Amino acid sequence: MKISTRGRYGLRAMIDLCMHAQGEYISLRSIAKRQYLSSGYLEGIFAALKKAGLVHGSAGSCGGYLPALPADQITIRMILEPLESSMSLLDGPENGASSLRSFLNREVWSKVDRAVACLLDATTVADLMREFENRDHAVDSSSL
């Protein structure tokens, strides 16, 4: 499994949005600047996130995006699924597949898929925000 740049940037942008929104619309330009990303690329990502019901958008000079749900209700999987074409390791369709290929799909790749799905479902944006903030505090206190 490989998460594409679209998925990686989408996760960073969604965490950034949740960290900075505080009830106010956040522009893609400000997210792009903080995360060193292209605002044009983020437009496509946020269109997919909006379609998935994860963000609300507002046009105009004071427009931007707001999370549609609290950060503790947005999982990593909810963000990645609308941005990735597939997150499965299964080795293609089973039609006419060799017995070894079918065996590996069933006994290895499907188990890895389920384990990854469980992790992505169990981890919220709020969890990541907390861990990120705690990481910053640990670094700050160690430099004293």
Residue-by-residue pLDDT tens, the chain, 144 positions? 778 999 999 999 999 999 999 889 999 999 999 999 999 999 999 999 999 999 999 988 888 999 999 999 999 999 999 999 888 887 666 666 678 888 888 899 899 999 999 999 999 999 999 999 898 666 555 544
Query: For residue 52, with 0-12 CB atoms within 10 Å meaning exposed, 13-18 middle and 19 or more buried, which class applies?
Result: middle
pLDDT at 4: 93
CB atoms within 10 A of CB 83: 22
Q: Give the predicted TM-score (pTM) of the model.
A: 0.85
Domain CATH code at residue 88: 1.10.10.10
pLDDT at 97: 60
**Count of structural domains within the chain:** 1
pLDDT at 135: 84
Domain that holds residue 51: 5-142
Looking at the DSSP assignment, which residues form a beta bridge with residue 26? 65
pLDDT at 136: 62
